[in-house]
Structures are given as C-alpha cells and as structure tokens.
Structure 1
Amino acid sequence: MMAQTELDHDELLSRLHELANQSLGLWDVPADARARLINVSENATYLVETENGYKSILRVHREGYHTRRAIECELCWTEALNSSGCVTTPGIIQGRDGEIVQSAELPGKLGARMMVMFEFVEGEQPDETQDLAGPFEELGEIAATTHEHTIAWKKPEPFERLVWDLDAFYGPRATWGNWRDGPNVEAQIRAVLERVEATVRIRVSAFGQSEQRYGLIHADMRLANLLIDNGNTRLIDFDDCGFGWFMYDFAAGISFIEDDPQIPAMREAWVAGYRKVRPLSDDEEKEIDSFIMLRRMALLAWIGSHIDVPEAQALAKNFAAVSAELGEGYLSRMS
C-alpha cells in the first residue's frame, strides 16, 4: 500500500482525484458524473456533478484517521439528529451494495480509502466579513440542541468516535501532535504556552466531565460548517465529532480567528443563543476561556503536523506568536 506520507501534496491530490472519479460507480450516480475537488483538510471533499444538473458530495477519508466503525457511528448520529427534527444535516447516499461507507484503492498508486457520499445541499456559508453576532447566536442554539440530543440519545453499540480529552490535546499521542512542534515556537513563546498548558490542565480537570458538561460533540462547529438556504440552516462536516466538553464547541467555532475584535460580541451572542435551549452556569461560561486556549494550542499542533496543506502554510508565520499573546491575556484573567 502506498502511504499518504510518501507522496508530496500535489501528487497525493492527483491520485485522490483519480480514485474519486474511478470510484463513482460504487454509487447509483449518472454514468457521466465527474468529481471535482472543492476542499482538502483532513479529508478530500468533491462535488460530484453532471451537465444535466445532478449533484452530490463525495468525502474521501484521509489515511488512518478513522476506522470504518467510527465513520458509521458519525453517520448514525447525523441521521439521528435529522430524524429527531432538532438539527438538519445532509442526507447520506448508500452505495449500490447498500453500505453507507465504501472503500476503494488504486493498486500501486494509493492504498484503500474509505468514502462516503452525501446529498448535495443548496446554501451559503455565513459571510464572515460581516457582523457575526446574529450567526453566532444561532450557532449557540444549534450547539445546545446537539448537546441536549446527545445526553438523551441511546447510542448504538459498539460506539466508536474520537475522544477530545486532555490527553488528546496534551498527551504523548495527541491527536494532532505536540504544539511544541508547531512552526516558530521559539523559547519565549514556548515558556508562555507551557504556563498556559499547566493552567488549562488544572482548570479543565477541576471543571470535570459530568454528563451535563461532557459528551458527544460536533467539535468543529464553525460558521464554515453551516449552510443557509432561504432561512433554513444545515449543520455539516461531523468528521471530527467525538466525546468532549460542550463548551469546546464554542472554542472550535472561532478556530483560527481567536484574536478577532468581534470575538467578545460573538461569544456573548453564542451564550445567549445557547441559553435559549439549555441552562449554562456562570462558571461554565467563564471556563470557555480555557477551552479557547485548549483549541488554539491544538490548532498550533495541527499546523505543525499538516504543514504540507496550503491552509496550514498560510497560517504558520504568526500563529505561535499570536497564541502566546492570547495566552498572556488568559493567564492574567485566570490568576
């Protein structure tokens, strides 16, 4: 099997494009359908379309990130959210064999990849250049609704998903790597972030993992993962969903823009939206600061371990320095 790490980014994308198009026959799609890359991060996402207007979305999973069962559990949750009517998610298209997770490879070129096809959803992402208070209030409502659902939902057994606990961020086998290996983590920056890690560990451990604070979460609930069409909002991309703290969903919502001047207003709006659906104590609201830093340092690790991805390269130059500035502010507020 050809490992992903043996290929440079452009060659990998070329082979994934070939795999995606050669695999379309696994689903009942028109014979003239073609797959076009629209996004690549952990996975490669393609728009499948024909000249006559057919559209669907194909997700080709990265190598070694999830097991088949973990993907099935993700899709089971999205279908449960949909069927309950509390949150709308894209429909899943079964393969010709009736399975929702398919697998294919390019012998000698690319090892087996798991794939899922979704119904195409019309809509646009919220405009992140505009006032974001309104969209974040809705995002808070959606987050709270998913949290209420997961507390009550009887999960299928065995249920397998990522675990976003302290070890996943700071442990020896952290999911996205060690933040110390991120780009431009110089001695002074590292010293600040070491203090931040120590403080986050203490505070989040004390915060605890009760059923009302910790459970199955989306874990990547950014505006980029909302699609709005004629007033209807759909939540997409559950690929990172797993077990974590509910307040982490806000931190994930401001990924990469934690220093934006709008953040205080966005946070206030998110909390207001959240409280429309479920209670949120003052202590829980205050601890959002810890989860923001937890996420920010995870993103620093992500950039370091994904430096071949254009998005990571674009962020690399100043991300560590800004993280340290944010960390200084966090430490002063929490002292």
Structure 2
Amino acid sequence: MADQLPQTIRDALQKRALEALDHWPVRAHEPLLMKYRENAVFRITLEDGQFAALRLHRPGYHDETSLCSELQFMSALKLGGLDVPSPVPTSDGQSLARLPANRHFPEQHVDVVSWIEGVPLGQSGTPLAHSADMQAEIFFSVGEGMATMHELADSWEPPERFRRPAWDAEGLLGEKPLWGRFWDCRGLPSDSIAALSALRNELHQALAAISPGDLDYGLIHADLVRENIFLTENEGNVAFIDFDDAGHGFRLFDLATTLLKNRSEPAYPAIEKALISGYRSRRALSDAALASLPLFMVLRNLTYIGWLAERPEIPGAAERLSRYIAESLEMARKLKAAA
C-alpha cells in the first residue's frame, strides 16, 4: 500500500521520519517506507548496525498512555519467549517521542521497535503461494503461537496505568465501535444502511445469548492478518508483528481475524483445522466455544466497513467497501440459515 501513495505524501512522510530520527541513536541512513496503514512504518538502521522499525503513529488514534501500554504488552510477550518486536528506547531512555505539529502533520507520537527478520505469510487478496501441506504446517504454528500469546497474556500482570481498547460487545457493536459505525458511515447506500442496522441488532442478540463461560476473554492481538504474521528461520517459524490494535477482547476474535481473509483459499478447510489444532495443542478451546467462530467472523468482517469508510484516501477504498458490505451480508445469511 505504501508504494501506491502519491509522491507528495511520500515526501512529507520521509521528512517526518527524518525529524523523528533525531530522538534515536542511528546511522546516517535514509528511512525506507515499508507500510502505510494506521501507522507509517519505516525501516531504519540503528547505531549498532541492526535494522529496526520506526513507526509514525496515526494522529488521534491512540494517546500516549495507550501507546506505552502497547509497548509494555509486547515487552511482556517477548520476555515470555514469543517472537515479537521489542521496544527500542530513545537516546534519553523514553519509550516514545512526541513530534510537534507542522504544516503537513498535527502533533503525533513516534516509536521504534526491533526488526523481525522474515517474510509476511502473504498479502490480502493474493492467493497463498505455499503448497497445501505447507499451509497446514504454517497455520498449525500460527495456532500454537496464538495460544502461547493468550497464555502469556493471562499470566502477566499489566502495570497500573495500562490501558488498551476493548474489543467487547460495545467495541464491536456499540454506539461508538472501535473501527467506526459500520451501519452508519460515509459511502453507504440506503439499502445497505437498513440491512446493516438490522444485522447489528441481530448480532447484539446472538452475542448476548452465548454463555459467558464459552467465551474466553483477555488480551488479544486483534489484527493477526497475513501481513502481520511473519515466517522466520527461528524455531517455530512464525512471528507476530503490529500490535497497534491489541487490547482486551474475545480470544475467538483472534482466530476469526486470521481465518477471515483465507476463506477463498482452496485449502481453507485444512487451514482452519490446522489453526485450531495448533491452538488446542497449547491451550484449551472447547467445541462450545468453536460453535461461535462463524459469528465472530461476521463481526470481524463488519469492522472493515467502518475502518474503510473513515479512510477514503486509501487506494481502492470505495470498491473494497462495497465488497465488505456484500460479504458481511452474505456471511450473515449463512449464519442465520445454519442456526
């Protein structure tokens, strides 16, 4: 997505990244824009020659307390042995730096995290390149890693000022969902507004009807899509990056997020089976809980509607918005028919 940005935006981001580098001990090196989504992510070279990722955070998305909490969560997971990035402190030992407003940007925060060597599992919308057997192995490892992450989260005691978003019923279906009002946002035709509003009410009831004991809840990654799962040469072969949306939520939401963009893969049944088997090899996951997985896949798909509606500058946003609306309503119809 970064290479599709207009050159004027790329130039402004590059200057902003150079400004941010004044806060870290780095080599004289041009920041390389790697990703532009919630954050603008650059690869930089630290003073010791190691690569790292500099993240210009989207202004207004998370405040300083929430950003520090994200880094604390990542540090805890890293300490527990999970392959995730770890914070790189500024020259004066801080977790974050604050950049003042200028004519291109409002005030925003920036941080640096360690570089993960590897390649993304894939890219959304592009078929997976691995053989069916390899896909099963990879997703088994992803399931293991996800379960380990949830175990580490449950055994960790967050610091007193820890604050992250909640992917609970309110965060998904309330009046102010974390990723926007999917039933009432820019670019929606009137028939979609009516259908999505009705669906929101149905999902509220379906979620409320689930026995609380069947829904494991705690800290989650919340965005384990292909681009945030890296294949590495380390033991276990997978690493997780981009904890920008990590917070409190239903553990099924993590499973649903990983599976959602793979539904069109020919080997999808094997992918789903491998992910669940890998998860169960490290952590309990009951059949009663799994019965709600299709519901959470609908909930996950709906979040992208609100997210895209608030970011019309993203290339292809209008087309993708229409696709997510159609997919969500179709998934909901199947969910209702199976009930």
* C-alpha RMSD of the superposition: 2.6
The answer (yes or no) to whether the contact 1:271–1:285 under 8 Å persists in 2 is no
- Unmatched segments (≥5 aa) in structure 1: 1-7
Counterpart in the other structure of 2:146: 143
Amino acid at match of 1:122: E
| Pair 1:249 & 2:254 matched | yes
Per the TM alignment, residue 41 of structure 1 is displaced from its structure 2 partner at its CA by 0.9
Deviations 1:179-228 (A, max 9, x none): 12467744554555444323321222233556971111000112321222
Residue 60 of structure 1 pairs with residue 63 of structure 2: no
> What secondary structure is seen at the aligned counterpart in 1 of 2:120?
coil
- Does the C-alpha gap of structure 1 residues 106 and 312 become closer, same or farther in structure 2, counting only changes over 3 Å? same
- Give the structure 2 partner of residue 90 of structure 1: 85
Residue identity opposite 2:108 in structure 1:
R
Counterpart of 1:57 in 2: which secondary structure?
strand
Q: 1:259·1:326 contact (CA, 8 Å) conserved in 2? A: no
Q: Which has the higher contact order (CA 8 A, sep 6+)?
A: 1
Q: How many residues align?
A: 324
Q: Secondary structure at the match of 1:100?
A: coil
CA distance in 2, matches of 1:183, 1:264: 35
Return the alpha-carbon distance in structure 2 between the equivalents of residues 144 and 37 of structure 1. 32
Question: 1:320-335 alignment to 2 at 5 Å?
Answer: 320-334=325-339
Aligned equivalents of 2:40 and 2:319: distance in 1? Answer: 18
> In 1, Cα distance between the equivalents of 2:129 and 2:186?
27
- Give per-residue Cα distances to partners, 1:71-100, cap 9 Å, x unaligned: 111111111111122x11123211001001
Q: Does 1:109 align with 2:114?
A: no
CA contact (8 A) 2:98 2:110 kept: yes
Residues 196 and 331, structure 1, Cα contact 8 Å, conserved in 2: no
Q: Give the direction of change, closer, same or farther, for the CA distance of 1:138–1:243 in structure 2 (3 Å limit).
A: same
1:94-127 residue CA offsets vs partner (Å, 9 max, x unmatched): 1001001111135333222111111222111224
Contact 2:99–2:108 at 8 Å: present in 1 too?
yes
Match of 2:125 in 1: none
CA contact (8 A) 2:34 2:43 kept: yes
Provide the residue aligned with 1:271 in structure 2: 276
1:69 aligns with 2:56: no
AA at the equivalent of 2:146: A
User: 1:19-40: per-residue Cα shift (whole Å, max 9, x none)?
Assistant: 111221210001x121121111
Matched ranges for 1:129-278 at <5 A: 129-130=129-130, 131=132, 132-181=135-184, 185-186=188-189, 188-207=191-210, 213-231=216-234, 232-278=237-283
CA contact (8 A) 2:214 2:289 kept: no
Is the Cα contact below 8 Å between 1:189 and 1:324 reproduced in 2? no
1:273 Cα deviation after fit: 0.9
Q: Distance in 2 between matches of 1:208 and 1:72?
A: 34
Three-state SS of the structure 2 residue aligned to 1:215 is strand
TM-score (norm 2): 0.86
SS of aligned partner of 1:121: coil
The amino acid across from 1:315 in the alignment is R
